[in-house]
Structure 1
Amino acid sequence: MPAPIPSVIQCESRSTLEHELDIIRPQLNLTETEETWDVIFRALSRLIAVCKGGGCDYPCELIAFLRDSSRSVISALNSERSRLSGCAADVIGLAASGLGRSFEPLLLSFLPALLTLCTRPNKLFINRARSSILLIIEHTQIPSILSFLVSSLKEKSVSLRLAAIECVLACLNSFDPQDLEKDARAKEIETAIKLTATDPSAEVRKASRRVFETYKVLFEHRVER
């Protein structure tokens, strides 16, 4: 039986991080089969331990690795094996937490994949994806996240629309008001409210009302116009 992966792997230098990533890379890039999925899971678990141990202190190296390995991480995220998918979601959320705004180059790779996961019928997958998106919102505070969320509000999946409008609310509660006050972002929030105010789903409409109530507090001057 393989040795257990440590919960934290200390990366106190750039060379230590690069050594760890060299160990992870070939295992992570395997094609998922009955024989290999546990190897991929262990590689993702090792990547989590590296992030916890200071890997995010070297953003250039970690971002380059995650960009190069994005297809493998997303493939694991889309796995029908819940342990593997959940571990991939944890990698993305933890990387965003550690990298902060530096996560922005990875947004286009990972946020659409997490949103797509919210269309799954299994609530376990949806909740994990939503949790990772919320971590991205809270720790990166990248205003362009709103564009991805608003686009998702036009999709047929009720679970995706609900997750997206709930995440719009998280953006309102987390982002710097000065970023939100820019006309383009304020209009995106208004579009989100308009798209969901009469949604067929009662849950989506309820979340939309919460967004509108928060919007009224933050943008009182726009409501009065």
Structure 2
Amino acid sequence: MPPRQQFVQCDSLRTLECELDSIRDKLAIPESEDTWDTLAKSVTRFTTLIQNGAANFPNEVATGLRSIARPLNSAILSERSRLSGAGIDLLKAAAEWIGKAFDGLIPLYLPTLLTLCSRSNKVFISRAKACVINIIEATQAPIILSYLAEASKDKSLSLRLSAAEGCLACLNSFNPPDLEKEVRGRDVETLIKSTATDPSADIRKVGKRIFEAYKILLPHRVDT
């Protein structure tokens, strides 16, 4: 479990800026046996801020997340479960609370989460996959499909399954007009083709569900 934080109320932009300055300074410290707990607490403090007022300043929260992308991605990829979990919890909270303002952060953080989905540790995979689904549902950003289409061709079975499940979540969440754009239709079709021939029965099963949703949402693209 991520470290507990004392309650903090972020009721002004000035408070948020001061807090972010402190968090950035602490996250600049390299991870080690002596520092990882400090890093985790700093990440968790940002989560607490978002949940207690900072989300009223969504653009500033997004800017703050952009400014700590390197150390936060490192934390998420850490082999230390508590540190990694704190980083994932921050992204989940941010996506939930700032919504569309999170869209610009997708290229910074989604690849990291997908990398985590290829780990051998099921706890890391489960956390990362849940966060990806959370981001899909909170942002409904069609660009996510491009990352999932690429991931569906990876050698990692767990990543391919995560990509397939992510695609299904996209089809269940996104507005149909967004999916009707040519590039997004091709992304979905890439996932359908990849899953249809995947060696894993579990992935092929999800692929069938993707195809059924595809036929309903994009009937004009289905071969007759």
The equivalent of 1:212 in structure 2 is: 211
CA displacement 1:157-198 (0-9 Å, x = unmatched)? 000000001000000000011111122211211111011101
The equivalent of 2:22 in structure 1 is: 23
Alpha-carbon offset, residue 61 of structure 1: 2.0
The equivalent of 2:70 in structure 1 is: 71
Return the letter of the residue paired with 1:192.
L
The equivalent of 2:8 in structure 1 is: 9
Return the letter of the residue paired with 1:101.
K
Return the letter of the residue paired with 1:88.
G
Q: TM-score w.r.t. structure 2 length? A: 0.95
The equivalent of 1:84 in structure 2 is: 83
Residue 9 of structure 1 contacts residue 52 of structure 1 at CA under 8 Å; is this kept in 2? no
Alpha-carbon offset, residue 148 of structure 1: 0.5
Structure-to-structure mapping, 1:46-125, within 5 angstroms: 46-125=45-124
Return the letter of the residue paired with 2:119.
R
The equivalent of 1:168 in structure 2 is: 167
Using the alignment, how far apart are the partners of 2:182 and 2:153 within structure 1? 21
Alpha-carbon offset, residue 220 of structure 1: 2.3
Of stretches 115-124 and 87-96 in structure 1, the one that deviates more from structure 2 is: 87-96
Using the alignment, how far apart are the partners of 2:156 and 2:223 within structure 1? 33
Q: TM-score w.r.t. structure 1 length? A: 0.94
Does 2:185 align with 1:186?
yes
Using the alignment, how far apart are the partners of 1:107 and 1:130 within structure 2? 14
Return the letter of the residue paired with 1:74.
N
Return the letter of the residue paired with 2:94.
A
Structure 2 unaligned spans of 5+:
none
Using the alignment, how far apart are the partners of 2:4 and 2:85 within structure 1? 18
The equivalent of 2:222 in structure 1 is: 223
Q: Secondary structure at the match of 2:187?
A: helix
Return the letter of the residue paired with 1:5.
Q
Does 2:133 align with 1:134?
yes
Using the alignment, how far apart are the partners of 1:200 and 1:13 within structure 2? 53
Q: Secondary structure at the match of 1:205?
A: helix
- C-alpha RMSD of the superposition: 1.4
Aligned residues: 222
Using the alignment, how far apart are the partners of 1:203 and 1:10 within structure 2? 45
The equivalent of 1:32 in structure 2 is: 31
Return the letter of the residue paired with 1:82.
S
Residue 120 of structure 1 contacts residue 126 of structure 1 at CA under 8 Å; is this kept in 2? yes
Return the letter of the residue paired with 1:112.
P
Return the letter of the residue paired with 1:97.
E
Using the alignment, how far apart are the partners of 1:123 and 1:4 within structure 2? 24
Stretches (4+) displaced over 4 A: none
